[in-house]
Structure 1
């Protein structure tokens, strides 16, 4: 019997979003076939997903770049102590500490990065050449990101590149009575509920949805926002904006939800309005439960939504275009057609089981 691979899943991000939760899901999905150890930030929000579970993890305090080498040496000790074969990292800011740890360690593990972020400039200076020379494989989450990697990293130091979409957990589906009860609990009764899930900040485009609602001359159209406020006071700014536009009573902030799958099912449509969303896991999660989706026509979103087939695309940063797409979904037959086609595509292309099976195959390939 072949010896199990010892895999280290690394994410020292202090935030909680799709990138961070993907790391947790990857660690748990791969645990049966590999010996998995997760390394996370003690000041972050990921520990709650490990406490009380059989999944192994350790915390590592990430220092600033000036004193990063102390953390890198500690990570190297963890690598050697647990005889790690592969380090799988997710947060781009963890590349320097992962590469340094590889250099310091006796094991010299393979480094694999799931690339969630866009790349917009050449990486041809000595520092970046050193970093990318020490990464063995990059797994961009879209073909767009793969093209950027090939464009901006010199071929002489470029790691192997293989596109691997992110998947989503199989959701718990509610029955119609449960959905009605949830809509009542969330104040969605008698509304056309448009949902948005993600960090509350300008880049995610909550202001665009508020503007779109104001453009729609239909008091039944309401927007519901789920997510953490990233900058204190920004939610109040958005509320003030809604009041100024005369739609304050149609804009609702629901706070953070640990599992938003139920929320998606209570919505008539789910919107992703970011201009530069690398992928768009929110859209896939909504599609999985049979909710119609609308996304901006940029970034990785265009690899998820086939316009007017599995969802609708609007012109990025254009609230008038977004309003037009929302209004289209008031047509029930169209809404249901798009929602069902989206559900089928999500199951066929973006299921966790298929994507993590592909990830396992890649990591167990000795040619990394």
Structure 2
């Protein structure tokens, strides 16, 4: 299998699971061959990839031909064989660049979002006709793609789960975080993700308000996407009288170190396509409680290696109380989750599967 020149492409302004996966692909693939990355300047992904060799393109939703022309020139100059894009809003730019380029690279899209309507109009049929492969992050996503994209233009769909790796977090670092947040012997409930309503931090706060008598604190990790929502969370904390139980950390690159503080981690989104934070918690030996829909259904076996809840604060409170009262169950679920993460979601194994797809195009 000959080496191919790869380009990771993502102009998203955010820094969540999707963008971190872009960074993980780039950091891994560039050690195994030729791989470049194109990002939007001065956005969160750009800043996250400190000191990396990056190609900059500014998104222009009104005149997409401008970034597409710039990308086409870069493709030809760098002899790019495969463009791997991740953010759905980049689809027009990437496909147009392929058409405008002399190289005519293969295109693969990692699909992180669900698809809920038919893509049978002329524009979408043109787009998908020019995409060679779609990487679906779950079998649920694969089923949706094959249902909603017309068969005559539907690209080949390959399923590869996202992966995570176990980091060596020193106990000294964990202790420094405990000192920073004034944590001692409390039962720690964590939730990691962007501060926006869809991530469901409000559900965790409501659940903890039902457990005031217990020695529990909540650590909310993530950068703020919606200032009004953050203020509403802080007001809810006051209204429910749980100011002494809630800690907002803000943005941090040390997510794994923060997870080492947790007894349990919560995923409270209504329908997470995959749930990278789920396997990240598992590999850190943290017990997971996740909503019973979407990606978590393909990761967690309820009662075996984690718990699922119906996204009500009442059900979440019951699940937290169960683990609080039963340390043996909590540790058993955490250990089973860890073993599953190492076996099924280990980053190097999953990245190798995806890289083989890219190289084989």
Aligned to 1:97: 93
Query: Distance in 2 between the 1:43 and 1:16 partners?
Result: 12
Q: Deviations over 1:230-265 (max 9, x none)?
A: 112322211111211222221111111112001111
Query: Distance in 2 between the 1:192 and 1:111 partners?
Result: 47
Which among 301, 305, 314 is matched to residue 309 of structure 2?
314
Does the 8 Å contact 2:237/2:246 carry over to 1? yes
Which among 59, 63, 68 is matched to residue 60 of structure 2?
63
Which among 43, 48, 71 is matched to residue 75 of structure 1?
71
TM-score by length of 1: 0.95
Aligned to 1:162: 158
Distance apart, 1:3 and its partner CA:
4.8
Are 2:281 and 1:286 equivalent residues in the alignment? Answer: yes
Query: Distance in 2 between the 1:45 and 1:214 partners?
Result: 33
Aligned to 2:7: 8
Does the 8 Å contact 1:174/1:265 carry over to 2? no
Aligned to 2:112: 116
Are 2:346 and 1:351 equivalent residues in the alignment? Answer: yes
Aligned to 2:233: 238
Query: Distance in 1 between the 2:335 and 2:307 partners?
Result: 13
Matches within 5 A, 1:136-215: 136-175=132-171, 179-215=174-210
Distance apart, 1:180 and its partner CA:
4.1
Aligned to 1:224: 219
Aligned length: 360
Query: Distance in 2 between the 1:336 and 1:273 partners?
Result: 21
Distance apart, 1:52 and its partner CA:
2.7
Distance apart, 1:181 and its partner CA:
4.3
Query: Distance in 1 between the 2:352 and 2:106 partners?
Result: 19
Q: Could you list the runs of 4 or more consecutive aligned residues of structure 1 that deviate by over 4 angstroms after TM superposition? A: none
Does the 8 Å contact 1:173/1:289 carry over to 2? no
For structure 1, which segment, 113-122 or 244-253, has the greater mean C-alpha deviation from structure 2 after superposition? Answer: 244-253
Does the 8 Å contact 1:124/1:153 carry over to 2? yes
Unaligned runs of 5+ in 1: none
Query: Distance in 2 between the 1:116 and 1:273 partners?
Result: 17
Secondary structure of 2:162's counterpart equals: coil
Query: Distance in 1 between the 2:142 and 2:213 partners?
Result: 42
Does the 8 Å contact 1:224/1:252 carry over to 2? yes
Q: Deviations over 1:49-82 (max 9, x none)?
A: 44334xx321101112x21111101110010110
Query: Distance in 2 between the 1:109 and 1:20 partners?
Result: 22
Unaligned runs of 5+ in 2: none
Aligned to 1:19: 18
Secondary structure of 1:162's counterpart equals: strand
Does the 8 Å contact 2:181/2:247 carry over to 1? no
Distance apart, 1:289 and its partner CA:
1.2
Q: CA RMSD in A?
A: 1.4
